[in-house]
Copies of this chain bind each other. A is one copy, B any other.
């Protein structure tokens, strides 16, 4: 029944099916690091969402989400950026599928990045935002941080597991060292 409801009618899964799949295979994720660039392409600011959860309290994070069945990586990136940052964000999606890095999240602590929900293999892309982000209802805020701010350990401590490390990689890869 639940199989008919989900598997045969589209890429969305019922909560029951999603829970089951998550215990069987790694999930494909994309993550978009929102960036602001200067007129010469220079990295100027990095954007983060602020969310509240019962377990972890307030946490900052990049845009992140699952790739659906029969969805391309670019479609998944576009969908998640629009869902999290609104229709006026005007993201510039990457023109090649090669990511900045591949982040691996595991449900077991002390084993790569930690995600209690699942094992995911996440393709991480910096995504320049040329419009005005308006965070969706499930987020409390979206803020831009200058590069000086990005190097602040206090900010990094507020980020979900793995994202402070991805931020550090992005800064270094852009030639913006601490």
Per-residue CB contact flags for chain A residues 51-79 toward chain B (1 = under 8 Å, else 0) read 00000000000000011111111110010
**Residue A106 is within 8 A (CB to CB) of chain B in the complex:** yes
**Residue A154 is within 8 A (CB to CB) of chain B in the complex:** no
Q: Is the CB of B96 within 8 A of A173?
A: yes
Cα–Cα, bound, A21→B8 (Å): 12
Instruction: Pick from B73, B123, B168: contact of A178, CB below 8 A.
Output: B168
**Residue A152 is within 8 A (CB to CB) of chain B in the complex:** no
Q: Which single residue of chain B is at the shortest CB-CB distance from A111?
A: B70
Cα–Cα, bound, A46→B168 (Å): 19
List residues of A (1-57) whose CB comes within 8 Å of B's CBs. Answer: 3, 6-8, 13, 17, 20-21, 23-28, 35, 37, 40-43
Instruction: Pick from B24, B72, B94: contact of A13, CB below 8 A.
Output: B24
Q: Is the CB of B101 within 8 A of A26?
A: no
Q: How far is the CB of A70 from chain B (nearest CB, A)?
A: 6
Chain B residues, Cβ within 8 Å of A24: 6-7, 13, 17, 21, 69
**Residue A102 is within 8 A (CB to CB) of chain B in the complex:** yes
**Residue A99 is within 8 A (CB to CB) of chain B in the complex:** yes
Chain B residues, Cβ within 8 Å of A99: 98-99, 102
List residues of A (95-109) whose CB comes within 8 Å of B's CBs. Answer: 95-102, 104, 106-108
A94-B41, A172-B169 given; A70·B28 CB < 8 A: no
Q: How far is the CB of A60 from chain B (nearest CB, A)?
A: 17
Q: Is the CB of B92 within 8 A of A41?
A: yes
Give 9 nearest A-B pairs by CB, closest first.
A41-B93, A165-B177, A97-B102, A169-B172, A26-B28, A7-B23, A28-B121, A41-B95, A7-B24
